[in-house]
Structure 1
Amino acid sequence: MIGMSVSQIIILIIVGLLAGLLGGTLGVGGAIVVIPSLVLIFGFAQHQAQGTALAFMLPPVTLLATINYWKEGYVNWKFALILSITFFIGAYLGSILSFNINEKILKKVFGVFIIIVALKMIFSK
């Protein structure tokens, strides 16, 4: 790959595998693993990390995992369709909003959001 060192490629492969494993296991990956990795390891700006994370999810990266969950009876297609359509719209609007937020503030908002979600998950019944 042009402009990438072997070590960067290896790290990206590890991050991608970790994100995929966590995505398939816990349903997380893009935001929880990839964005912080791009910012903290590769020095991406927050906007660039978010845009790259969205771009890598363009192909059907979750197709095989979804099929496995569906085979086991764990997919509610009605909910998934509504979430998919509204996520499509929300992601478009969110990207526009993001461009109007200062880089440092956006990074802090992202970090606080992850902490709040983590605390809620840890301390909820």
Structure 2
Amino acid sequence: MVSKWWLMLPATLCEIGWAMGAKYAQGPLEWLGTLVLVTLSLGLATWMARTLPTTTVYTVFVGLGAMGTVLVDIIFLGAPFNALTLVLIMTLLTGVVGLKLYSSDQKEASCTGSH
């Protein structure tokens, strides 16, 4: 079975896009775009969860989406930035990467029969 982790990038980008759309959409076309992004992000996450550990997919998906949304808000939309924000984003990223790596290790261990 082929891993679908590569879908995390477009899913995360759609997640960030709809979060921004939910905040800034004003007209019907912008809201339609936001709804399309919601559908795509959740559809991609669902597709990944069919062959990957659901809890890991969901946590990585939401964590990267939250981190990306904060970064877009700071870099492009002028949200205030401080050192604590950086520390918390790095903590979130560390947890997401750790969970993904741990999930991969667990899968390999179950395939080889070692615990």
TM-score by length of structure 1 reads 0.35
Greater helix content:
2
TM-score (norm 2): 0.37
Higher relative contact order (CA 8 A, sep 6+): 2
